[in-house]
Structure 1
Amino acid sequence: MDGKIIYFVQSILILTMGKPVISVVTICYNSVRTIEETLQSVISQKYPYLDYVIIDGGSTDGTLDVVERYQEYLGYFHSEPDEGISDAFNRGILHAKGDLIVIINSDDILLPNALEEVARYYEPGIDIYRGNVIIRNKDTGFTGRDIPSMKFPLMPFFVNVDHQGTFVTAAAYRRWGGYDVKFRYMMDHDFLARAYQGGARFKYVPADLAEFRLGGVSVAPISAKRYDIEHIVLNNGGGRWLAKFCYFYFWAFDCVKRLIICIFGIDMLKRMHYAKTNKG
């Protein structure tokens, strides 16, 4: 059946049943070791109104062969070089057909029944839904639970971003725009701050929705994130000196974290930050 016809039928059903179409966007590049687990976590969701979009950055390691095996479950798939993570996010959003859109990267996991949980809390007028994210270090066995922040003030201190547990309405993306392609690390924080400062309505979903694997850009040195940190402040009306102070704070805080890691190990640092979980 043609994709447009399927989407039209889904839309009619939603009007009568009150459930949204949910688009899951996965971006990937040379992710052959991890993407199949991500794919299976999405297609195993027992939610009838799923739209799955995969944006590949031109993989050469066998990632495309894995994705090809799941082609029948995909609403859209395309592979070509892009301009980075933000650009890939934006391409996925452009092709998403859902009322809600969540981004699950190729080394992250959508937890069982996550889409059904979010749909239970769906209501008109809410722009962004936020649920818990399980943090996992596969090397040490550590797991923790990140409770998402619901406010994003001008000074972005002590904020839990967790885009894996963030479901944004298509209307919110149209209103506040997508992800700034100049950002390389904190593009999700920038978007949420922009939406919050613009009056977006947030709603907490009290459930574990996704699993984030420690690593990737999340462990980049703080100096590499300077542009992103300063422009989260600048993009939301803060002055240049305030932006520089914000970067200095993050730099100093990063030094303290590295000291804790050197003395006690990375798991101690994570235990200090994340709530306990018995997920193993």
Structure 2
Amino acid sequence: MIPVHSTTLPVAAPPRAEPDEQPLCAPTFTIVTSCKDDAQTIEDCLTSVASQTFGSFEHVVIDRHSRDDSMERIYARRDRLSIVYGNAADSHFQAWNRGIGHASGDVIGFLDARDALADPDVLMRVANAFEDPTVSAVYGDILCVDQRDVCQVRRRCHLGPISPTRRARGWVPPTQALFVRKAWYRGIDGFAPHMRFAADYAASLRLFSQPSFKAVYIGEPVIRQRSAPLALGRMLDLLKAPRDEVQALREARLGGWHAWVRHRVYKLEGWVGA
């Protein structure tokens, strides 16, 4: 059995807000998590969602035939989850598409099995921003945390508000920090299956290219993101990702390789200055 390095999130799970304490015109949320052999971290992920003070949400977990004891840990919480059994050959993004298909909430957020929501009030803050019916998406900052302990924050990535200039450089908020109304994801048919390494980036470029798509930056952390170990498979994926990212930029009419280089330089400057 794989040793489990599970940690306790910094804030104890408070009771969920009563309906009259929640924002007026509050949306319902679906949090989608794709899992494959994530027994070491899945409990932190599940706890962070279950402890939200905002009451109107569901958590859809797609297991892609895990070979460790991830399913045991997920099944132990089946009373709080919707469990979807994916295919072993499914990519991360195909699993997310399954999540969109099963979502009953008005707003969808994607949370990796390695990560956790930043604190118990994340969904409440996001719901407040969605009180404006013209808002299509809400996003916030990322807390980069230790691989073994989500309480240990290494740095905070301040994403900042999007602007026409930033988008022209190919910048969009990372999907994991983004909450989008379900109708928008369904309107673009989710994540393109032919883009195995950058389907999330391509989807966000398509969303943010829509004239009526309005995103709000709340300026608060929404996710605790573990740094991923540089295993051989991940290194190979990182080498293959630029091809898909260039294709996404071309489809968004933002250019090709030259645009990709500008985007990478701009992204690096943002991370260094965060």
TMscore range, shorter length:
0.7 to 0.9
User: Following the alignment from structure 2 to structure 1, what is the Cα–Cα distance between the partners of residues 273 and 195?
Assistant: 25
TM-score (norm 2): 0.78
In the TM superposition, residue 155 of structure 1 has moved relative to its aligned partner by 4.0
The CA deviation at 1:217 is: 8.3
Gaps in structure 1 of 5+ consecutive residues: 1-11, 258-268, 275-280
Instruction: Give the aligned partner of residue 214 of structure 1.
Output: 227
* SS of 1:153 mapped into structure 2: helix
User: Is residue 83–residue 181 contact of structure 1 (8 Å, CA) maintained in 2?
Assistant: no
CA deviation digits over 1:146-176, x for unaligned, max 9?
Answer: 32552463542xx363222210101111222
Whether contact under 8 Å (1:25, 1:92) holds in the other structure is yes
Q: Residue 91 of structure 2 corresponds to which residue in structure 1?
A: 84
Task: Give 1:1-280 correspondences, 5 Å limit.
Answer: 17-112=24-119, 113-122=121-130, 123-138=132-147, 142-148=154-160, 150-151=162-163, 153-156=167-170, 159=171, 161-199=173-211, 200-215=213-228, 220=235, 222-238=238-254, 242-248=255-261, 253=265, 272-274=272-274
Structure 2: where are the runs of 5+ without partners?
1-18
Shift of 1:220: 3.7
Cα RMSD between the aligned structures? Answer: 3.1
**Moved runs in structure 1, 4+ residues, more than 6 A?**
none
**Equivalent-residue separation in structure 1 for 2:161 and 2:201 (angstroms):** 11
CA, structure 1 residues 273+136, in 2 after alignment: closer, same or farther (shift >3 Å)?
farther
SS of residue paired to 1:90: helix
Change over 3 Å in CA distance of 1:32–1:101 after alignment to 2: same
Larger radius of gyration: 1
In 1, are the aligned partners of 2:118 and 2:143 still within 8 Å (CA)? Answer: no
Q: 1:125 to 1:217 in 2, by over 3 A?
A: farther
Q: Is the 8 A contact 2:49 2:117 kept in 1?
A: yes
Identity of aligned residues (%): 20
| Structure number with higher helix proportion | 1
Farther-moved stretch of structure 1 (223-232 vs 98-107): 223-232
- Once residues 38 and 77 of structure 1 are traced to their aligned partners in structure 2, the CA distance between those partners, rounded to angstroms, is 16
SS in 1 for 2:224: strand
The AA in structure 1 aligned to 2:223 is A
